[in-house]
Structure 1
Amino acid sequence: MTADPSPSSSSAAAAPSVKGVARALSQHHRAVVGFLFGFFVILVLYTTASGQFGTTNTIVALRSTPAEQNARTSPPPPPPPASSSAPNNNSAQGAVHDMENGKKDEAAKTMGQVRIEDKNVPGTEMNKTIDNVQTNRTDLSSQTVNEASDRMEEELIRQELGQDGDKNESNVKHGAPPKPVCDLSDPRYDICEISGDARAIGVNRTILYVPPTAERGADGQEWAIKDQSRKYLEYIEKVKVKTLSAAESLVAPECTSQHAVPAVVFAMNGLTSNPWHDFSDVIVPLFITARAYDGEVQFLVTDLQPWFVDKYRLILANLSRYDIVDFNKDAGVRCHPRIVVGLRSHRDLGIDPARTPRNYTLLDFRMYIRDIFSLPPDGLGIPYKEANKNASGGVDGGTGKRKPRLMLINRGRNRKFVNIPEISAAVQAAGFEVVVVEPRRDLRLEEFSKAVDSCDVLMGAHGAGLTNFFFLRTDAAMLQVVPWGHMEHSAMIFYGVQAKEMRLRDVEYSITAEESTLYEKYGKDHPAVSDPESIHKQGWQLGMKYYWLEQDIRLNVTRFAPTLHQVLRTLQE
C-alpha cells in the first residue's frame, strides 16, 4: 500500500506554482499600469498640442481637408457676376487706389479673413469656426488618437520639407517675379496680352491681371503704354496695365460684369481724321490684332471718336459683333478671359503675313474690305471690261462701247490741282470717262466705295485720298501724281508698294519744278525749287513745310498726256 504524501511534501511542491502565478500577475499589473500611464501621457500631450495648433494655425487646419487641397492646386474660379452685393465704382477705385499707395501690409494682415470669407463664413462667426475646427480634431469619428497624431506629424513634416502646397506657394511668392504680360520691344507699338483673370476699369484707364494663387509674387509688375499702333504719338494718353501681387490680389476690385469673349483696348485718336492714318494707324492694325477672333471680341475704346465709329461702322461691326464700349466713361469693372491692350502694326499701311495669326496679307485685307461693303466678287474683271464683254468691236472706246472710267480725286487744302478743268479735258481726250470728286471726312463709305469700285483708274496727288484704292478691283490702276521735292520715295513706300501687293496696277507721274506752285511763289532760284535735297537735309519739318503743306500742283497736260495713254494701254492688256 502506498503511503499518502505528507503535508510538508505537498506544500513544498505547490510553492513554486503559487509563486509563478503571483509573479505573472505582478508583471501583468505593471504592464497594464504602464500602458494606462503611457496612454494618459500621450493623451495629455496630444490635447496640449491640438489646442496650440488650433489657436495659432487655424488656416493650416482649414487647408488640411481634401477640398481645400484641391483648391490650392486649381486655378481660382472666375469672379462672381454683378449682383446687388457687387461693390460700386467708388469701392473699385478705392481698391486700386489702396494698391497704388502701397497698402500691402494691411492687405497681408487680412489674408486669413479673406480666405475664410471666401467660404461664406461671416466675420462675426470667426471664433465659432475656430472652435468647430478644434472640436473636429478631438472628436474624430472612426479614427484613433494615434491615427490623428500620425496625420498631424505627416502634415508638419510635409510643411517642414517644403512638400506642402502652401510651402510651394510661398516659394513662388518670394522667388522669381511673375511673367511679364507686356511687350515693349517693337519700335512701332507696345502690346499687352492678359489671359486669365483680367479686369478692365475704364475710368482709371487701368487693366488689372489677378494671377492664379500659385503664381502670385510678393511684388507686382506695372506698365504704362499707349494703346495705339504709334507708340510715340504725344496725342495718346497711356493705359496702365498691372499684374497684382499676392497681397494686392486679395483686395482687387470685384467684377461688376462678366464677359465670355476677349477684349481689345485701343485708342481712336492720334492722327486720325486723315483717311490714310485712319487705315494705317487704326483699321489695318485692328484687323491684324482682332481679325482672327472672327467677331467674337469686344472693343474697349479709349478717346472714342464718334465720327470715326460712324464712318467706319461696317468695318468695326464686322471685326466685333459686340457693342463698342466708350472705355473712358465706363464706370464698371469688366472681367474678360483675355484682354489685349494696344494694336499691332508691321509697317505704314502694310501687313507682314509672317507676323499675323493666319498669314493675312494686304491683299486679304482688300478682299475683306470689299466683302464688308458688298462690292462685286474678285472674279469679275475691271468695270469697263465687264461692261463690254458682250459688245462687238472690242473694248477700245469705239461706238457703243463704255470707256474706262477715271476717278480724279482733288484735295481740298494742299497739294491740290489748281487747273482741274484743263486736267479733266486732257483725261477725256485720252479716251477716259472722268469723275471728279473731293472726298470729305463725313462722306458715306457705303456709297463712295461703290463709286470707286465702278472706276478703272483712281488718280490723285500723293495724299490721303489715294487710300480709297482699297475699293478698287483687281487689275484696276492707281495713278499717283508725285509732287515736287524728291517725294518719289514717299510715294512708293506709302502707296506704290501697297498697290502692287494688292494686285493693282501702279503708275506714277512725277511733276517738274515748273508744275509746282512753289515755282510761282518763290521763284526758280529758291532752294525749295532749285535744290530740294538741301531742304531735306535741314530736317523733316522744313521739307514738310514746303513740299507737303505749301505746295499745290498745276499739271502740264501736254507733258502728262503720255502717262494717260500708258495707263490706257495697261488697262487693255
Structure 2
Amino acid sequence: MVTESSSSSQSSTVPTSKGMARTLAQHHQAVVGFLFGFFVILVLYTTVSGQFGSNTIVVLQSTPAEQNARASPPPPSSPASAPNNSTQDIIVHKDDVNKTMGGEHNQDNVPGTDKNNKTDANFDNMQANRTEQSGGQPVNSTITNVSDKMKEEELIRQELDQDDDKDETNVKKGPAAPPKPICDLSDPRYDICEIIGDARATNRTVLYVPPPGERSADGQEWAIKDQSRKHLEYIHKVTVRTLSAAQSLAAPECTSRHAVPAVVFAMNGLTSNPWHDFSDVLVPLFITARAFDGEVQFLVTDLQPWFVDKYRLILANLSRYDVVDFDRDAGVRCYPRVVVGLRSHRDLGINPARAPRNYTLLDFRMYIRDIFSLPPDSVGIPYKAAAASNNNATVDGEKRKPRLMLINRGHNRKFVNIPEIADGARAAGFEVVVVEPRRDLRLEEFSLAVDSCDVLMGAHGAGLTNFFFLRTGAAMLQVVPWGHMEYSAMIFYGVQAKEMNLRDVEYSIAAEESTLYEKYGKDHPAVSDPESIHKQGWQLGMKYYWLEQDIRLNVTRFAPTLHQLLRTLGE
C-alpha cells in the first residue's frame, strides 16, 4: 500500500509541475507582449507629436551684406488677422521680404540713390517644420494641409533657385554674393555712384571702405564725369574706388568727419548760358539733393566763382553747409553717404516717376519762387491781382495794362528792330519793359522784375529761362526763328511752360523776317529749303539758324498774336 501510494503521489506531482511551468511561460509572454506594445505606442506617439507639434515656418535667409543693410525686422502680423484658438502657417515670400525688410529700393524715389541699382535678396537657406492644427480637424485633413504647404514651399524653392537636396535640419550657407557695384553707368545722360557706409573723399577721389565681413581680395574702380551730361569731353573725371581687403587696412585716415551726406558735382561744361545753368546743373541738383532738405554738403569740381555768386540763394537753400572746392581740398573728409554725379531725366525737365517724392518741374518753379521771396502763387498774375484789389489804375489815371517784358539778346537771334517791336506791343495794349540780361545780373533783383510782368517775350534762346520767375497763368511768348525750329522751341521751352502752368504762346517768323533773307537772298537753300540744310548735319543748321540769324519782326504780321494774347490774359 505504501509503495502504491508513493508511486501514485509521484505520478500526480509531475503533471502539476508541468502545468505551473506552462502558466509561468504564458504570464511571461503576456508581460513581454505588453511591454513591447507599450514601447511601440510610445515610439508612435513621439513620432506623431514630433511631426505635428510646431508651427510651419519657411525661413528665407539673405547674405550677410543684405542683413547688415536692413535696419529692422519685418513687422509682426496683426493679431486681428489670425483666427482664434488656432495656429497659423507662416510663409515668407521673397517679394514680401524685400518690401518689408528694405531689401528692395526704388532708387529714383529715395534720395541719393539710383533706380537701376536694386538689391535683390539672395535667399539660400530654407527650413520647414510642420504643425498640427487644433480645432478638432482630422489628422488626415491636417496632413493634406501640410502637404499643400510643402508643395507651395517647393514652388518657392524652385522660384528662388534653391538646391533640391538640402538637409532640412542642417542647412549650409552658400558662398557670399559678390559685392553690389556702387556705380551705375547705364543711363544715357549721366553716370551716378552712391556710397553708403565708410566713404572718404579727398582731391577728386572718393574711397569706399567696406565692412570687414564684406571685403574681397579685389577692389573696384570707376572714372565718373560728375555732371548731368556725361558725353561732354571737357568734364573732368572723378575717381570712385571700392577698396580691397588689403587696401582697406591701409586706407587714409579721416581728417574730418561729417554727419551729413555729400554730393559731388561739376560746375563747368556748357554753363554761363542760363538755359544750361538750369538744365545741366540746377535742375539735376534739385533732383539729386532736394530730398535731403538742406542736410547735405556739396563737393564741387571745376568750381566757378561766378556760378556760386549768381545762384548763391539756390545753392544755400539746397545745402546749409559750405561749398567745398573738391579740386583743391587736401584733407580726407569722411561721410556716411556720398553721391557722385547728378541725375537728369531730360533737357530742362523732371520725370515725377523717377524723382524723389515725385517732384515735378512745377515743384521746382514754386521752389525757386519761394527762395527768391516772390509773392505766393495764390495772388494770380499782376494784371488780374491789380484788378481784384481795385488797384488797376496807373498814376495818371489810365487803366492798368498787362505788363510785357521784352528780352533782347545781345548777339545772335537778336531783334534788330527792337524800338519798333516795343511800340507795336504798346499799341496793342501792353505796358512794355525792354531788358537785355547779362551774366552778372543780380537774380534777386531781376526775379522781382520778371514776377511783376504778365508776359515774358523773347526770341528762342536762353533769356526765356527766366520763365521760372513768372506766376501761374502768366504767358511766355516765344518768337521762333526761321529754319524749321518749331520742334526745338517746343521741347526746350514750350513743354516746360505748360508743365509749370504757364501759357505757352509761339510766333514763327516768315523767311522775310530773318536776316538770312537779307544776307543770302530768297533762293539760297538756308532760306528756301531749310530741310535740305538740316539733312546735312546739325553743324550746318547750327551755323545758319542758331549763330548767323537775327530777327526783323514784321510788326503788322505780329499784331494779331498780341491781340489774342491780350484777350487771353483778360479771361
Same fold (TM over 0.5): yes
Distance 2:359 2:178 in 1: 35
SS at match of 1:553: coil
Q: Is the 8 A contact 1:276 1:464 kept in 2?
A: yes
**Corresponding residue for 2:467?**
469
Q: 1:257 and 1:390, CA in 2 relative to 1: closer, same or farther beyond 3 A?
A: closer
- Distance in 2 between residues matched to 1:74 and 1:525, nearest whole Å: 72
Instruction: Note the C-alpha offset of 1:380.
Output: 0.5
**Cα drift, residue 397 of structure 1:** 13
Report deviation, 1:400.
3.4
Q: What's the CA shift for 1:386? A: 1.1
1:529-559 residue CA offsets vs partner (Å, 9 max, x unmatched): 0000000001000000000000000000000
In the TM superposition, what whole-angstrom CA distance separates every residue of 1:416-446 from its partner, at most 9, and x where no partner exists? 0000010010000000000000000000000
TM-score normalised by the chain length of structure 2: 0.69
Describe the SS at the equivalent of 1:449. Answer: helix
With over 3 angstroms needed to count, the CA separation of the structure-2 counterparts of 1:334 and 1:296, relative to structure 1, is same
Query: SS where residue 327 of structure 2 aligns?
Result: helix
- Pick from 383, 396, 400 the counterpart of residue 402 of structure 1: 400
Q: Which residue of 1 aligns with 2:211?
A: 212
SS of corresponding position for 1:358: helix
Q: Report whether the alignment pairs 1:513 with 2:514.
A: no
Conserved? CA contact 1:397–1:403, under 8 Å = no
CA distance in 2, matches of 1:342, 1:274: 20
Shift of 1:398: 11
CA contact (8 A) 1:236 1:267 kept: yes
Paired amino acid for 2:201: A
- Report deviation, 1:391: 3.1
Matches within 5 A, 1:216-365: 216-365=215-364
User: What is the rounded CA distance, in whole Å, between the counterparts of 2:332 and 2:432 in structure 1?
Assistant: 54
Residue 526 of structure 1, CA deviation: 0.7
Q: Secondary structure at the match of 2:186?
A: coil
CA distance 1:396–1:313, change in 2 (3 Å): closer
In 2, distance between residues paired with 1:243 and 1:178?
Answer: 10
Return the match for 2:448 from 419, 435, 450. 450
Q: 1:556/1:397 Cα in 2 relative to 1: closer, same or farther (>3 Å)?
A: farther
Per the alignment, do residues 398 and 515 of structure 1 end up closer, same or farther by CA in structure 2, a change over 3 Å counting?
farther
Question: How many Å apart are 1:178 and its aligned residue?
Answer: 1.6
Offset of 1:396 from its aligned partner? 13
CA distance in 1, matches of 2:276, 2:483: 22
Cα drift, residue 224 of structure 1? 0.6
Tell me the equivalent position of 1:535: 533
State the secondary structure of the residue aligned to 2:501.
coil
Match for 1:503 among 498, 501, 511? 501
Deviation for aligned residue 1:235: 1.3
3-state SS, counterpart of residue 338 of structure 1? strand
After superposition, give the CA deviation of every residue in 1:288-331 in whole Å (9 maximum; x if it has no partner). Answer: 00000000000000000000000000000000000000110100
1:364-418 CA distance string (max 9 Å, x none)? 00000000000000101100211122439x8999953211000000000100000
Question: How far does the alpha carbon of each residue in 1:325-355 deviate from its partner, in whole angstroms, 9 at most, with x for none?
Answer: 0110100011000000000000000000011
Secondary structure of the corresponding residue to residue 343 of structure 1: coil
Give the distance between the partners of 1:220 and 1:545, measured in 2 at CA: 47
Counterparts of 1:391 and 1:380, CA distance in 2: 14
Amino acid aligned to 1:326 = D
Q: Which runs of 5 or more structure 1 residues have no equivalent in the other structure? A: 1-72, 76-166
Distance 2:459 2:499 in 1: 20
Equivalence map 1:137-152=2 (5 Å):
none
Q: Which amino acid aligns with 1:262?
A: P
Distance 1:396 1:477 in 2: 22
Matches within 5 A, 1:2-401: 176-202=177-203, 205-391=204-390, 400-401=398-399
Q: Distance in 2 between matches of 1:486 and 1:313?
A: 37
CA offset digits 1:423-471 (Å, max 9, x no partner):
0100000000000000000000000000000000000000000000000
Measure the CA separation in 1 of the matches of 2:558 and 2:373.
35
Distance 1:527 1:398, change over 3 A: farther
- Ranges of 4+ aligned residues in structure 1 off by more than 6 Å: 394-398
Partner of 2:99: none
Change (3 A) 1:235 1:559: same
How big is the shift at 1:225?
Answer: 1.0
Report how far residue 357 of structure 1 moved.
Answer: 1.2
Q: Would the aligned equivalents of 1:408 and 1:460 in 2 still touch at CA under 8 Å?
A: yes
Compared with structure 1, are the counterparts of its residues 490 and 550 closer, same or farther at alpha carbon in structure 2 (3 Å cutoff)?
same
CA distance in 2, matches of 1:251, 1:432: 70
- In structure 2, do the counterparts of structure 1 residues 397 and 231 end up closer, same or farther at CA, with 3 Å as the change threshold? farther
The letter of the residue matching 1:548 is W
SS at match of 1:524: coil
Structure 2: 5+ residue runs without aligned partners? 1-66, 70-171
CA distance in 2 between partners of 1:188 and 1:437 (Å): 34
Q: Give the letter aligned to residue 339 of structure 1.
A: V
Give a deviation string over 1:81-113, Cα, whole Å, max 9, x none. xxxxxxxxxxxxxxxxxxxxxxxxxxxxxxxxx
Partner-residue secondary structure (3-state), 1:570: helix
Q: 1:335 is paired with a residue of what secondary structure? A: strand
Match of 2:487 in 1: 489
Instruction: Provide the rounded CA distance (Å) in 2 between the counterparts of 1:318 and 1:397.
Output: 38
- In structure 2, do the counterparts of structure 1 residues 357 and 333 end up closer, same or farther at CA, with 3 Å as the change threshold? same
- Residue in structure 2 matching 1:569, options 540, 544, 567: 567
Q: Distance in 1 between matches of 2:344 and 2:390?
A: 46
Match of 2:430?
Answer: 432
C-alpha distance in structure 2 between counterparts of 1:200 and 1:539, whole Å: 42
The Cα shift of 1:570 comes to 1.1
Q: Aligned partners of 2:285, 2:376: CA distance in 1, in Å?
A: 24
Q: Secondary structure at the match of 2:206?
A: strand
Q: Distance in 1 between matches of 2:438 and 2:353?
A: 35
3-state SS, counterpart of residue 285 of structure 1: helix
Answer yes or no: is the 8 Å Cα contact 1:426–1:561 preserved in 2.
Answer: yes
Q: Distance in 2 between matches of 1:439 and 1:396?
A: 27
Structure 1 distance, partners of 2:427, 2:305, is: 43
In structure 2, distance between residues paired with 1:398 and 1:344: 52
Q: Which secondary structure does the structure 2 equivalent of 1:301 belong to?
A: strand
Give the percent of matched residue pairs that are identical in Structure 1 and Structure 2: 85
Kindly state the Cα deviation for residue 246 of structure 1 after the two structures are TM-superposed: 0.7
Shift of 1:74: 8.4
Q: Is the CA contact 1:397–1:431 (under 8 Å) kept in the aligned structure 2?
A: no
Quick one: which amino acid aligns to residue 251 of structure 2?
Answer: A
Q: Distance in 2 between matches of 1:570 and 1:349?
A: 27
Alpha-carbon RMSD across the aligned residues, in angstroms, is: 1.9
Report the Cα distance in structure 1 between the residues aligned to 2:252 and 2:178, rounded to whole angstroms.
Answer: 22
Structure 1 match to 2:546: 548
Distance 1:258 1:196 in 2: 13
Shift, 1:213, TM fit: 0.7
Q: Describe the SS at the equivalent of 2:356.
A: coil
Q: How does 1:405-416 map to 2 (within 5 A)?
A: 405-416=403-414
Query: For the Cα contact (< 8 Å) 1:385–1:395, is it kept in 2?
Result: no
